[in-house]
Amino acid sequence: MDTTATTGTEENVWGGGNRPLNASYGKLMMWFFLVSDALTFSGFLASYGFSRFKFIETWPIADEVFTHVPFFHGNYPMYYVAFMTFILILSSVTMVLAVDAGHRMKKNAVIWYMFATIIGGAIFVGSQAWEWATFISGDYGALETKGGRILQFVKADSGDRAALADFAKTIPGERTAHERKNGIWYTEEGSLPSYSLREVTEGFKANPNILIRTETINEEGEKTLLNREESLKKLSAATQVVEGANLIHNEYGSRLFADFFFFITGFHGFHVFSGVVINVIIFFNVILGTYERRGHYEMVEKVGLYWHFVDLVWVFVFTFFYLV
| Domain boundaries along the sequence of the chain | 38-138+256-323, 142-243
pLDDT in tens, 80-103: 999 999 999 999 999 999 999 999
Q: Determine the pLDDT at residue 194.
A: 77
Per DSSP, helices labelled H in the chain are 3-7, 25-54, 62-65, 79-103, 107-137, 164-167, 197-206, 228-235, 255-260, 266-288, 290-294, 298-318
CATH architecture, domain defined by 38-138+256-323: Up-down Bundle (1.20)
Residues 6+ apart with CB under 8 A from 319: none
Q: Which residues of the chain have pLDDT under 70?
A: 1-23, 173-192
Cβ of 247: how many Cβ atoms within 10 Å? 10
Q: Determine the pLDDT at residue 4.
A: 46
pTM, full prediction: 0.83
Q: Determine the pLDDT at residue 305.
A: 94
Q: Determine the pLDDT at residue 6.
A: 46
Do the Cβ atoms of 62 and 321 come closer than 8 Å? yes
DSSP line for 29-75: HHHHHHHHHHHHHHHHHHHHHHHHHHTGGGPPPHHHHS--BTTB-S-
